[in-house]
Amino acid sequence: MKYIRLTRQQLEEMHQEFINFLATQSITAREWELLKKTQPEVAEEELDVFSDLVWEGVLGKVTYLENISAQHMHLFHLSEKEMKLISVKVLNPDIDLNTSVGFNWFKKNWQSDFVEYLNASKAYTEDKNLDKFKLIQEGAVITKGELYQWFEKIIG
């Protein structure tokens, strides 16, 4: 398995897509139930293959990721050729960007000496989607990129 298996909830939400996937494998609903009982390892492999296909589809479309912690924001633009990063560091230890109070402080003080910025870019490895997935595993979430785009205009 290349990525991680989808959670039970994710699989339930993708029930119809999974049925379609099984159909492409020529597996009927009755055969699937039998497979789960008689060959659970094969059923597990089918879940893994389906999960990887879903992840490939999602990661292929991801353009922006954000990883925000108490004093850091890592904003990624995943362009065709490279990963671009805008890194924001808040030097005020009393501020937690994950709270509304902390983020509001940041919006008012983003130009102060208590905030540092860094721009960087990095080429992908031979597996662009795996690079994106690793960022997600490290805590990044998929976004529409509003925060990155705002910063790009301001400090770009």
Task: Name residue 142's beta-bridge partners.
Answer: 65
- The pLDDT value given to residue 154: 80
Nearest-angstrom CA–CA distance, 20 and 4: 20
- The pLDDT value given to residue 112: 92
Task: Give 58-112 pLDDT, tens digit per residue.
Answer: 999 999 999 999 999 999 999 999 999 999 999 999 999 999 999 999 989 999 9
Percent pLDDT > 70 in the chain is 99
pLDDT grade, residue 155 (50/70/90)? confident
Indicate if the pLDDT at residue 156 is higher than 80: no
> Burial code of 126-143, b = ≥16 C-beta within 10 A, e = fewer?
eebbebbbebbeeebebe
